[in-house]
Structure formats: structure tokens, C-alpha cells
Amino acid sequence: MEIRKGIGVSPGIAIARCMVIDSKDYRIPRRSILDSQRAKEILRVRRAFAIAIKDLTDLSERKHFEEGKIKDIFAVHMRFLRDKTFRKRIMDFIDKERVTAEYAVSTILREIASHFEGIDDPYISERAADIYDIERRLLVHLLGKVKEEVEHLREEVVIMAHDLTPTQTASFNRTFVKGFATEAGGRTSHTAIISKTMGIPAVVALGDMTSGINSESIVIIDGNRGVVVIDPDEETLKQYRNYAQQVSLFVHQLDELRDKPAVTRDEVKVQLLGNIEFPEESAMVRDKGGEGIGLYRTEFLYLYGGTEPTEEDHYQAYAQAVKVFPHEPVVIRTMDLGADKLPQTIRQTPEANPVLGLRSIRYCLQNLGLFKTQLRAILRASVLGDVRVMFPLITNLQELRQAKMILRDVMEDLDEYAAPYNAKIPVGIMIETPSSALTSNYLATESDFFSIGTNDLIQYTLAVDRGNEHVSTLFSAAEPAIVRILRSVIHDAGKAGIGLSICGEVASDPEYIMLLLGMGVRTLSLAPPMIPEIKKIIRSVSIEDCNMLARRVATLDSQRQIKNLLRDAASQILPGQL
Amino acid sequence: MRPAMQFVDLAGSFKSDISVSNEVTTADAKSIMQMTMLAATCGSKLRVRARGRDAKDALEAIRELVEEKLFGEPPGEKAASVQKG
């Protein structure tokens, strides 16, 4: 039994056989096998050789490979593939070292290649390329098998990998994938996002883990505590099975709430929307009982393609999300990246202080081509449903006016092409800087709605980077300054009669729901898996109690007092669950 | 690779066990992996050993390939390398 500690990025417990995923560029992690599996792995090597020989024969029979040089290269490959001592060396390695076929192939071929590379004669050292070619040829078959296994899973597994790419996760058969554990990654890694979306437990940042692992191992992934247990003993397995049962019972109870409205005991309706990153997540929002998309982060379009997305890329992504919610609000936030995170093709010089630098709406206002492309796509998608556009990081009225002016420019462009769009598309802003929060009464006169991004608002107001472990404990929504600033923004929005929602993490924190409702919030936008739990809280409270709590919080002058009060109030509603 | 290929193909056509050694190591003449790793460049001295019923024929054929046919390099290529040298 081996217990590894990482970062839990998606809650839940998964217990299943593990499947180790190799990275795309054929850097094969060393993976041990049982004595009894050696014959199977050796057979896999034999098969890979046989298929490679057949492929090569087919290839060389084609006419355009008749030319001398290429034919020679294939002839060399063919001789290697038929070389018995070569094959034996790979098989002996499996037999002696007890490793997988792909690891043996990769290791031996690389040994040979590096031998060639070390020889001081260009004619010979260049032959290393031939060896890599042969390696690739064999691995395609060996890894192709693994890829196929992932796509055609027949039993439940947990996926273990160094890191997962979007392409890899997209190919998983989601019915059978029960959890993720990765060596790399952080809270905002792709694995974190995708596991939250799929609602399955995940632990990242585990460090070197795939090397010693047996592919038949049973693995426990505890996303609640950020722990992974490899080959658990009977006792641990039993404990975790009980624990998993309790957790799933709770989740099951919550799922029964799906079709029930989010209303308080005294019949006050609260709108629960989902935060999404990928268009596919909109279905998850609907399945969890969400009533629309309150925050559609569009950064993935810029991050995963490697190049700037085209208008069509944007449009397709938006259309896909709107299709799930044709009559409900879908709030699309325009690009919210710092210059430091942009793809290479549009990146600029590094900044000393990117958090206060050229990012988000500021970047867009200086790069109108990129900004207009996205706005055009949002406008085109606006006829498909109740699409709304939201500008991030607005600090003052002038920025809002500039952004709206550009939106009008794009509308005029579309008019010229007679392209349909919703001319009355609601335009809102994120309130996530102290500047915009303090002047929200002005901003409210020219916005159709506010969405309070508490993560950035807290960071900028308290001057705390929560990613910095030395100060992260200072990051708290229970600071009197945060409570006061929220109250003032909520007040200004109410006075102007415009929409207001909370889309930061506070909206999915059970301890803060009563306070938010008590301060007048009626729309929350949160991570889809959290919707049922928050709905349960809403259905358990009365606005009367929430109002009282909010009034008491307003009289407290320290974070500790506020935090304790909120915790006490929440534990009375959901005893034993917090 | 071409000379190695010819060498291996020729050795493979005999029943005898054939080995090739330089000062450091010995290779199975029928294995392209071992032969290429022997890394013999032009001018290296190699010792060829054959053991088996057709050992004599094998050695003769190999000697012929290396010393007389010069691995069958076409005259054009040879001329080019001479010019370069």
C-alpha cells in the first residue's frame, strides 16, 4: 500500500483499477508488471513486430516508394524488424526487468539510437534517426492499443497520467472513467477543470507516481482530501468503501432536488446559473438543475488552439452552449487573459506585474482586431437564444463606454453584411476591482447587469495573492471590507434596477449563501457540480433568517467574528455536513 | 546502412554461425542490430569467424563482398567519393 498526497481539485471518492496513460510524444513511463503478465507483454511485442512488418511490406509495394533511397531505408527497417537478436533483446528486457512492452521497446531502441549518436562519424551517427523511426513504428501499434482501450473501456477505471491534454480527455469513454490522478497540474489545470465538469474526483500535483505502478493496481482517489492510495490493504479499502457510500448517498439525495425550484422556505425565488469554461459543460449545468449560464469563460478558445481563434471557432463554441439553453440566459464574458497567458502568436513582451498589467478588457481595447472577432461571433450567436455579453475587469465608466462603442462598431459591420443579431443584447460588466465597486452607482446607469467576481475583487481589495502560500490565509470573503464593498454594489444595482449576480467562488461556498441572500442577492452563478448542494441550502433557509444574519454581520468588525457567525449559521441548516 | 544490409543478407544465406569482431566487441553477422552497432567505418579492421558446415564458403563469399565487390557501390558514387576525397 502506498499513500500519496496531492491537491484535491474535484471532490468525491473513486475506487477502481488504474489505467496509466502515456504521453503523446512517446516518452513512456516505466511501469512494472506482474510475473504472470510477462508472457502477455512479450506477445504484444511479437504482434507489434508482425504488424510493423506487414505495414512496411504494404508501404514498399506502393509505386512511389520504388525510388532507391527510400526503398533502402525501408529495407533497413525491415531487416531490423526481422532481426531475431534485436527482438530477443527487447523480450529479455521485459523478462528480466518486468516492464511493459512499450517501455521495453522504447528503452532498447533509445539505447541503440544513443549508441549511434555517440559515434564520431556523421554517416553512422545520423543512423540514429532510423532507429527512432523504427521505435515510432513499433510504438504506434503498442500505444494505439492503449488508446483504443481508453476509448472502448468495458470496466470502471481511474486514469493516472503525468498530465492530461484536452485531446486525451476528450477521447475518454466517460461512463467508465471514475477518477483522475496526475503527477503534474494545479488547481486551474485542464485536469482540474475537466474533472469538475465531469463531476468525478481528481487529485493533481502528486509528483512522480506512474513509474512504480502496476497496471493492475487498485487505486483509491480521494478528491475530498487530495489523497491517492495505491494498492490499498483490506482495512483501508473497507474504510474507503464505507466513506464512498456515504458520499454517494449524499450526492444522490442532492440529485433528487434537480427538478425542484431553488426557493427559500418563505417562497423567495433564487436563480442558480452555471459557470462554464467549455461548451460541453452546459449540458452538465442543465443536468445539475442550473437555469442557464451565468459565466461563460471564453479563455479556453485562446489557450488550447495555440493560435488566435477565428470568428467561426468562437461562434461554434457559443452556439453549442446556447443550444442547451435556448430560452435561458447565457452570459458570455469576453476574453479575460493577461498578456502573459496569450498564445505565442499574439504574445507581447513580459510584464513586471501582470496582475496590474495589460490584461483582460485593457488588452482587448488595445487589440481591436482580436476583440472585434469575438464580439462579432457573440453577436451572431445572440439570435440563437438569450445571449448576453459581459466585459471583465472594467475599472471606470470610460472603459465601459469604449467597449460599448466597439460593440456598436461591430454591429454596424454586421449590418453591412445583413447578418442577423440581437441589437438589444444585454451588456453587463464584471465588478471585480475596488474602483468599479466604489463607483458602481455610475456604472449601473450604463450597464444592463453586474456580475460580482469575488475572487479578483478580494485579491485587489485586500492586496492578497491567494496563490502565494505565505499570505493565502489572509484571503477571505469574510473580511469586513469585502462585506461592505459587496453590500454597496448590491445596493447600487438594486437602486438602478439592473440585474446582479455573484459568480465568484463565494457563490458556491455553503457558508456564505445566507449572507448573500440576506444582502439581497437573488442570482448565483457557480461550478455545475455545486448547484444541488447550494440549492439544498437555499431550500432550507428563510429570507427572514438571512436578512437577520446579514444585519448582524454588518455590525461585526473582524474577519474572525464574521467567519464564526457564518459557520454557526450554516451548520444549523446542514448539521454534520460542513 | 547499405553495406551492413548486404553483409547481413549475405551472412544470413549461410547455415554457419558467423561472427564479426573488432578490438572491443563481437557481433552476430546475421543481426543488423549488432552489425550496425559494431560501427565499422571505412578502413576499420574486422575479424570474421564462421563455424558450421558451409563455413568455408561463407568466409569466401564475405571476403569477396568486402574486398572485391566493395559492397557493390555503383561506379558513379565511387567516383564522386574519390573526387571529394
Give the C-alpha separation, A140 to A152, whole Å: 17
CA A427, CA A394: separation in Å to the nearest integer?
12
Taking CB atoms and an 8 Å limit, are B32 and A123 in contact across chains? no
pLDDT in tens, A386-434: 999 999 999 999 999 999 999 999 999 999 999 999 999 999 999 999 9
- Same domain assignment for residues A325 and A199: no
A115 touching chain B per CB within 8 A:
yes
Least confident of A131-135, A192-196, A492-496: A192-196
CATH number at residue A235: 3.50.30.10
Res B74 pLDDT > 50:
no
CATH of the domain at A385: 3.20.20.60
DSSP state of B65: I
Each residue's pLDDT tens digit, B43-65: 677 889 999 999 999 999 988 88
- Cβ <8 Å between A83 and B33: yes
A280 lies within 8 A of chain B by CB: no
Report which DSSP code applies to A306: S
How far is A537 from A514, CA to CA, in rounded Å?
8
* Total number of domains constituting chain A: 3
Pairing relation of β-strands A227-230 and A271-276?
unpaired
Taking the C-alpha atoms of residue A34 and residue A267, their distance in angstroms, rounded to an integer, is 61
Of the segments A123-127, A279-283, B79-83, which one has the largest average pLDDT value?
Answer: A279-283
CA distance A559 to A113: 62
Q: What are phi and psi of A501, to 5 degrees?
A: -140, 165
> Between A191 and B76, whose confidence is greater?
A191
Q: How confident is the model at residue A251 (pLDDT cuts 50, 70, 90)?
A: confident
Residue B74 C-beta-side C-alpha neighbours within 13 Å: 3
Residue A501 placed within a domain: no
Look at residue A452 in the predicted model and tell me its pLDDT.
98
Whether the pLDDT of residue A94 is over 80: the answer is yes
pLDDT exceeds cutoff 70 at B66? yes
> In this predicted structure, what is the pLDDT of residue A364?
95
* A239 and A302 co-located in one domain: no
pLDDT per position as a tens digit, B3-33? 788 889 999 999 999 999 888 888 899 998 8
**Three-state secondary structure call for residue A177:** strand
Radius of gyration of chain A from its Cα atoms, rounded to whole angstroms? 28
Q: Beta strand pairing status for A177-182 and A202-204?
A: parallel
Q: Do B36 and A121 touch (CB under 8 A)?
A: no
The three three-digit cell numbers of residue A169, written as one number: 480527455
Residue A290 and residue A274 in contact, taking contact as beta carbons nearer than 8 Å: yes
Most confident of A234-238, A268-272, A339-343: A268-272
What residues of chain A lie within 8 A of the CB of B9, using their CB? Answer: 79
For residue B76, what pLDDT is reported? 36
How far apart (Å, rounded) are the C-alpha atoms in residues A118 and A124?
Answer: 9
Residues of A in contact with B1 (CB under 8 A): 72-73, 76, 127, 130
CB contact under 8 A, A75 and B8: no
Task: Suggest the residue from A72, A85, A135 to mutate for an interface test with chain B (most B CBs closer than 10 A).
Answer: A85
Place of cell 498578456: A339
Whether A66 and A209 share a structural domain: no
Q: Within its chain, how far is the Cα of B3 from the centroid? A: 7
State the pLDDT at residue A26.
Answer: 46
Is pLDDT above 50 for A508?
yes
Task: Give me the pLDDT at residue A199, please.
Answer: 78
Residue A472: inside a domain: no
- Write out the H or E segment, with its range, that includes residue A178: strand A177-182
The reply to whether A182 and A135 lie within a common domain is no
In a domain, A227, yes or no: yes
Q: Give the model confidence (pLDDT) of A461-474 as tens digits.
A: 999 987 676 787 88
The more confident residue out of A187 and A555 is A555
* Chain A with chain B: Cβ pairs closer than 8 A: 44
Q: Is A124 on the interface with B (CB under 8 A)?
A: yes
Cβ separation of A83 and B5 shorter than 8 Å?
no
A488 in a structural domain: no
Burial (0-12, 13-18, 19+ Cβ within 10 Å), A105? buried
Integer Rg of chain B from CA: 13
CA distance A45 to chain B (A): 17
With vertex at residue A21, the alpha carbon angle to CA A112 and CA A89, rounded to the nearest 5 degrees, is 25
Q: Which residues from A are below 8 Å from B36, CB to CB?
A: 116, 124, 127
Which residues, 6 or more positions from A111, have their beta carbon under 8 angstroms from its beta carbon? none
- A78/A175 same-domain check: no
A198/A82 same-domain check: no
Q: How confident is the model at residue B41 (pLDDT cuts 50, 70, 90)?
A: low
Q: Are residue A211 and residue A82 in the same domain, yes or no?
A: no
Q: Do A124 and B28 touch (CB under 8 A)?
A: no
Distance from CA of B60 to the nearest CA of A (A): 23
Q: Is the pLDDT of residue A25 over 70?
A: no
Q: pLDDT band for position B75 (50/70/90)?
A: very low
Claim to verify: residue A140 and residue A157 sit in the same structural domain: no
Distance CA A420, CA A173 (A): 38
Which of residues A117, A148, A179 is at a domain's end? A148
pLDDT bin (cut points 50, 70, 90) of residue A206 is confident
- Higher-pLDDT residue of A210 and B82 is A210
Q: Which residue has the higher pLDDT, A67 or A77?
A: A77
pLDDT for the residue B83: 26
A18 catalytic residue (yes or no): no
Same domain, A400 and A531: yes
Average pLDDT, integer, range A213-229: 85
pLDDT at residue A376 in the model: 97
Query: Mean pLDDT over residues A73-95, rounded?
Result: 89
**Domain shared by A77 and A204, yes or no:** no
Contact B37 A124 (CB under 8 A): no
Q: Look over chain B and give the mean of its residue pLDDT values, rounded to a whole number.
A: 76
Q: Which residues pair with A295 in a beta bridge?
A: A275
Length of chain A: 578
- Of A252, A277, A307, the one marking the end of a domain is A252
pLDDT computed for residue A421 by the predictor: 97
State the average pLDDT for chain A.
86
Q: What is the dihedral of CA A555, A560, A563, A565, to 10 degrees?
A: -60
Instruction: Say whether pLDDT at A67 is over 70.
Output: no
Could B41 and A85 be called an inter-chain contact, meaning their C-beta atoms sit closer than 8 Å? no
Q: Is B72 within 8 Å of chain A by CB?
A: no
Strand order in the sheet with B26-28: B26-28, B17-21, B47-51
Tens digit of each residue's pLDDT (9 = 90 or more) over A526-545 = 988 889 989 999 999 999 99
> Is A132 part of a structural domain of the chain?
yes
Domain ends where: A191, A220, A252?
Answer: A252
Long-range pairs for A483-488: beta carbons < 8 A, 24 or more residues apart: A483/A515, A483/A553, A483/A554, A483/A562, A485/A434, A485/A437, A485/A438, A485/A457, A485/A461, A486/A452, A486/A454, A486/A516, A486/A519, A487/A519, A487/A554, A488/A437, A488/A438, A488/A440
Say whether A351 sits in a helix, a strand or coil. Answer: coil
Instruction: Clarify whether residues A216 and A351 are in a common domain.
Output: no
Nearest CA in chain A to B8: A79
Same domain assignment for residues A196 and A336? no
Domain boundaries, chain B: 2-77
Domain assignment present for residue A463? The answer is no
Q: By C-alpha distance, which of A513, A474, A488, A391 is closest to A434?
A: A488
Q: Are A400 and A391 in contact (CB under 8 A)?
A: yes
CA distance A447 to A392: 13
The answer on pLDDT for A350 being more than 90 is no
Residue A525 to residue A295: CA distance in whole angstroms: 7
pLDDT, residue A187, reads 66
Residue A165 has pLDDT above 70, yes or no: no
Catalytic pick among A190, A314, A364, A546:
A190
Query: Does domain B2-77 match CATH 3.30.1340.10?
Result: yes
Please report the pLDDT score of residue B85 as a whole number. 23
Residues A66-90, mean pLDDT to the nearest whole number? 80
Residue range A187-201, pLDDT digits in tens = 666 677 677 767 789
- Mutate which of A70, A71, A83 to test chain B, going by most B C-beta atoms within 10 A? A83
Residue B78: pLDDT band with limits 50, 70, 90: very low
Structural domain including A359 reads 259-450+508-573
